[in-house]
Amino acid sequence: MSVRFGVVRFPGTCDEIDALRACAAVGDAELLWHGDADLKDVDVVVIPGGFSYGDYLRVGALARFSPVMGEVVKFAESGGAVLGICNGFQILAESGLLPGALLPNLSLRFVCREVDLVVGTDRTPFTSGFDVGETIEVPAKHRCGRFYVPDDQLAELKANDQVLFRYADGHNPNGSVDDIAGVCNVAGNVAGLMPHPEHAVDALMGSLDGLRMFASAAGRAGVAA
């Protein structure tokens, strides 16, 4: 049985087709519509990047109220695997499924560049195919990607092994605290990151490292190695 991925599409989502293609490479994949409170019995939910609802009010702030997110929260609370990429990460943080907040980059400018990421934990479905400490190359592109938590929560995150990825030395594009590029929840089933693994699935475009995250979630860890 092939793993079934659902990729959520909001008005303003930009990277849903990229994510759908990445998922389809390792399993079955279909789009989920923001207005439907229905996850179509998928095994993994991916919330892709873009600018849901135009980023109006605050990044991710409106999307969390859409009908599909109610189901995503229930799915996550029952242990379902959920990955948020960029705007998806922002939405998961706004929904309270992931800790922290994504603030405007220190430069106050959009930044698009390749970054090196160091794997922080391999206990999530999306990083089980990596070794902790391994460095991978994935592009980042965002204007509000500066991960922030207060010091006490940062200590908790580290104690709970919730750091999914850190930017490698010199690669932090936005001023994130402790170079954090992605985090997971305490249980490890919900993960989010600012860089874009769905754009790193083809050697011709520069990197295949991102595909390994989807392969991990599909239980195909190791195929890509």
Partner 1 sequence: MAETATLPQFPDVPAGTVPEGTPPDVAAAIALGLTADEYALVVEQMGRNPTQVELAMFSLMWSEHCSYKHSKKLLGTLPTEGESLVLGPGENAGAVQAANGWIAAFKVESHNHPSAVEPFQGAATGVGGILRDIFALGARPVAVLDALRFGEPQDSERSRFLLDGAVSGIGHYGNLIGVPNIGGDLYFEGPYETNCLVNAMAIGLVRKETMMFSAAKGVGNALVVFGASTGRDGIGGASVLASAELGEDDADKRPTVQVGDPFEEKKVMECSLELLERGLIVSLQDCGAAGLTSAASEMASKGEVGLDVDVALVPLREDGLEPFEIMVSESQERMLCVAAPDKLDEVLAVCAKWEVYGSAFGQVTDTQRFRIFDGGTLVGDMPVPALVDDCPMYDIYPEKPTSSLYPAPPRRIADDATPGEILKALLASPNLADRTPLFQQYDQMVQSRTVRRPGTAGAAVLAIPDAADRLAPHEIHAAEIGAAPGFEGDHNHDPESARPGIAASIDGSGRRVAADPYAGTIWNVLECASNLATVGARPLGLTNNLNFGNPEKPAIAWQLTESIKGLGDACRALDVPVVGGNVSLYNEGTTGPIYPTPVIGMVGELPDSRTTAPLGFANDGDVVAGVGFSFPQIPLSELSKLRGGEIPDGLPGWDLAVARETIEAVRDAVRRGDLSSCTDVAEGGMAVAITESAIAGGKGVTLDLRGGVGMDREDWKERLAQEGKSLATDEEILFGEAPANFIVSGTPDALAQLGESVWVRNLGVVGGDRVSITCGDLALDESLEDLTAAWSGGLKPYFP
> Footprint of partner 1 on this chain (CB under 8 A)?
11-15, 17-18, 21, 24-26, 50-51, 53-56, 109-113, 139, 141, 143, 196, 198-199, 201-205, 208, 211-212, 215, 220, 223-224
Query: How many residues make up the chain in this entry?
Result: 225
Nearer CB in complex with partner 1: 159/225: 225
For tokens 């390749």, name the residue: 114
Amino acid, single-letter form, for residue 85: I
Which one of 23, 86, 144, 184 is the catalytic residue? Answer: 86
Supply the minimum distance, in Å, between the C-beta of residue 83 and partner 1. 17
Establish whether 142 is a catalytic residue.
no
Supply the minimum distance, in Å, between the C-beta of residue 92 and partner 1. 20
DSSP alpha helix (H) spans, 51-97: 67-77, 87-94
Number of H helices, E strands in the chain: 5, 11
Hey, which residues does 166 pair with through a beta bridge?
A: 118, 180
Establish whether 199 is a catalytic residue.
no
Nearer CB in complex with partner 1: 55/163: 55
Nearer CB in complex with partner 1: 13/189: 13
Establish whether 198 is a catalytic residue.
yes
* Structural contact between residues 208 and 201, judged by C-beta atoms closer than 8 angstroms: yes
Which one of 34, 142, 171, 196 is the catalytic residue? Answer: 196
Q: Which two tokens stand for residue 48?
A: 């892709």
Residues 6+ apart with CB under 8 A from 151: none
Supply the minimum distance, in Å, between the C-beta of residue 170 and partner 1. 15
Residues taking part in catalysis: 86, 196, 198
